Structures are given as C-alpha cells and as structure tokens.
Amino acid sequence: MTKKDIKALVKDLNKTLEDASRYMWNNPEVGGEEKLSVDYYKKLFKEEGFTIFEEEKLPTAFYAEYGSGSPVIAVLGEYDALPGLSQKVSTVKEAVVDGGPGHGCGHNLIGAASAVAAIAIKRFLEKNKQEGSVRFYASPEEELLSGKVKMAKLGMFDGADFAISWHPMSYNAVFDKAFLANAAEKFYFKGVSSHAAFAPELGRSALDAVELMSVGTNYLREHVIERARIHYTTDSMGYAPNIVHPFANAWYYVRAPYMQDVKDILPRLEKVAEGAAMMTETEVKKELQSGCYEMLENISFADLVYENMKLADPQDFTKEEEDFAQALMKSEPKEKVDRQRNLCNTGGKALSNSIQPRDFQNVSPMSASSDSGDVSQMMPMCLFTTACWPVGAAPHTWQASAATGHTMAEKGALLAAEVLALTAYDLLTKPEAREIIKKEFDEKKQAYEPMIEI
C-alpha cells in the first residue's frame, strides 16, 4: 500500500470521525468524570477488532491495541472538557447549559481524529500483513495535567516505541519542542477559630497565612527565571468575616521551561508557605498533586511529520465556514485578530489552511503545559497542530467551544487524522527513519519518574 492508499483509508472513516467528535461535543465531561466518553471509544474499538487493556485504578482510561510485534505506535487521544465553557455553535456567547462544561480546547476533536488514524493503520496492518502494532490511548484528565502521568505511573505505556500526537489550533504547524513543565501543590493551613471582634487575640487565622503566602510569593516571582510562572487560587472555606478562620487553603502551579527549573522553584515556594505559617502561628500541610514534564525535543521526528503534513490534503473550507469564522471573530479585538492573521499570512481570511514554516514555533511557541510531555520522556513523541478554529481565537474560550462543534473544526481534525496515519505508516515501514528518531531520543533523554502518587 502507498501513502495515497493510507489517505483513502482515513477519508473512508470521515463519518466515524464526525460521529465521535459530535458525540463528545454534545456530551462534554470534565476530567475524572469521562464515563460516557470512555464507553463510546471502548465500544468503537471493540467493534473494530482491537484488544482493550484497562487499569482498575484509572477507570476512565484504557488503551486499545491491534497487531503483532514491533514497532508499537501509540496514538494519543483525549476527550475531557473544560468546566464553565458550555457554548452553542453560535457567533455570540450563548451556553447550552449555564455553567456547564464545554469543549473549549477541542479534545472532542483530538479523540476522534486519533481514533480514526488508529483504525486506518489497523486496516493497513491487516491488509498488508505488516509487522507491527498500533495502540489508541484513551487519555483522561488532560486539563488536570494528570491523566497520562497516572497512566505512566501505572505502566500503561510500557511496550510502546513511538508516540504521535496533535492538538487543534488556528494554524497547521509542526513543533519539535513545546510545553512548559508544571507542578501543582496544595497548601492546607490550620489555625484556631475565635470571635473576630469579641476575642481576636485568641484566634490564629489560617486565612491570614494564605494571604501572607500570596505576598511572599509575589516577592519570590522577582527572583526566579524569566520564563517561570507561578499561578494560584485560594479557598477560605466559606467562613463568615466575623470568625477567625481556622482553616484555609491555597493551590499553586509552578511552570517553567524544564522540570529541573520547576524542581528548583518548588522548595522555595514551600519555604514561603512555612514562613507564612510561622508568622501567623498556624500549621501548614503540603500536598503535591501532580507534575508534568516539558516535551523532549526530537527534531528528526518533527521533520518527518512536516513532510507528511505537506503530503496530506489541506482543509477545503467553504464560504459558509469562512463567513461563520469571520462573524465569530468580531467578538475579539480587531488589533489582536489582525496581528494573528498577519503572523499566519492568511491574507485577511479568518481560516488558514496553509502550512506554517518549519520554524513557526520560534515566533509562536506552545507555552502551555500538557501531560503529553511525560510521554515524550519515555519514548520519541511528535506534536503538530491543525487549523480547527479561526485565526485569533484562543483555546479555553467560548469562541473555541463554538468552533469545535462546527464543520470547520472537523475538517481540521480530518487533516490531523491523515498526518497521524501517514506518520505511523512511515514508522511501520521505514526502519531507517525509526533508527534516526530513536538515536536522537537516546541522546537527549533524561531520568524520568512520574510526579504523582496513586
């Protein structure tokens, strides 16, 4: 079979992609609660003849495998939604369910495209009697930055040789480096309650400690590396103002380009918490939630993906889709939209189907965090994006939620499925490509231990 045949296999599965994406979009589930999503994909892969591998400690995850021998190609899929981003397919902000979840990061598309790519490769292995295996990874809790970390801790990636992944964005591009390393830690402060007016001297305020930790962290921010970020939220436990708070919590994220940077900053943040407790005569308990690594650079792998993106058929957006995208972007500042359109060279169009230059990551870096970074520490992994929403729209917004339920997004997902399948085809049929990619991985890999407890 040729690459033309692989593209045909993917296109034959377009309805499967649309059905899966629309089901996820219409039934959004937040991280840790993805029961409908995981049941849908289990049924799909059982019907396709895959073997399902589950883990008792993580019921919202599984992987489905087909084939025999190596290489074993891991196709990464996701399906969790974001709280509070319920949105109709509309150019104005209008929730389906007020306060409900929605697919503002396009994980309905990630799961659907990755599933179709895995099924297409299964059919190739079957028809070609090709040595090798394909796995579809049903990965929960990506938005919590923990799903794949848990899967790694539980050994679910054992035996896989290469991982291929993608993400919806507003442009078609390939990345050989991406993501900031991240660690999440919670701080639980315990004080002594008292009447805030009648006997304040008897109280020791946990809320004061939380606030002083915020102050101390603001000073810490001036003395960490420039690309580090420290985010936080607090919980005052619902106590009334006239009570000296006996309990209050803080939840912090530390992000930085490399996990070693995060590990350097985290103990300093913990000292700030300890200092806040000392000043307020309270106690503090620290609890590391999880951490995820940066993506390990693999230039050879990215080059291979870039060639396959050039071979794939670009999105053929209709006038109706372009008009919808233009109307949707009227909700964003014109200066921001124009700046992004110039960056992507769209010629004023809202939707881009061109391939960005290979070095696009240098002008538009992927500066979020993802648990996919952990996978890249265990095996060579690639990452690319396809245009699924208008240029100027950002993930984690109502505009993205609206777009991911539209046909324009499904066209971006179909392109992604083609690129995934073409790349898997190369890995299965070209041992020299595998050797080059694996050699680079071996030269750059570092010690890895999942930063989570289960």
List the domains of the chain with CATH numbers: 3-178+293-444 (3.40.630.10), 181-292 (3.30.70.360)
- The pLDDT score that the predictor gives to residue 171 is 97
CA distance 260 to 275: 24
How confident is the model at residue 214, as a pLDDT?
A: 99
User: How do the residues of the chain divide into helix, strand and coil, expressed in percent and rounded to 5?
Assistant: 45, 20, 35
What does the pLDDT look like over 366-403, one tens digit per residue?
889 999 999 999 999 999 999 999 999 999 999 999 99
- Alpha-carbon distance values, 212 to 168, 207, 215, 240, 435 (Å): 40, 9, 5, 19, 53
CA angle (241, 247, 248) in 5-degree steps: 80
pLDDT at position 294: 98
Q: Work out the number of other CB atoms within 10 angstroms of the CB of residue 166.
A: 31
**CA dist list (Å): 451 to 146, 378, 405:** 9, 14, 34
Identify the CA nearest to 181 among candidates 17, 38, 291. Answer: 291
Residues with pLDDT less than 50, the chain: none
pLDDT of residue 284: 99
Q: Helix, strand or coil for residue 66?
A: strand
Q: How far apart are CA 54 and CA 71, in angstroms?
A: 21
Inter-residue contact 176 to 358 (CB < 8 Å): no
| Residue 451 to residue 351: CA distance in whole angstroms | 39
Dist CA 202 CA 114 (whole Å):
59
Closest CA to 165 of 432, 386, 387: 386
| Predicted local distance difference test score (pLDDT) of residue 248 | 98
Look at residues 26, 49, 52 and name the one whose alpha carbon lies nearest to residue 39. Answer: 52
- Cis preceding linkage at 71, omega within 30: yes
User: pLDDT at position 33, please?
Assistant: 98
Count of other CB atoms within 10 angstroms of residue 221: 12
Structure tokens at 55: 């883990």
User: What is the distance between the alpha carbons of residues 111 and 419, in angstroms, rounded to a whole number?
Assistant: 15
Distance CA 385, CA 409 (A): 12
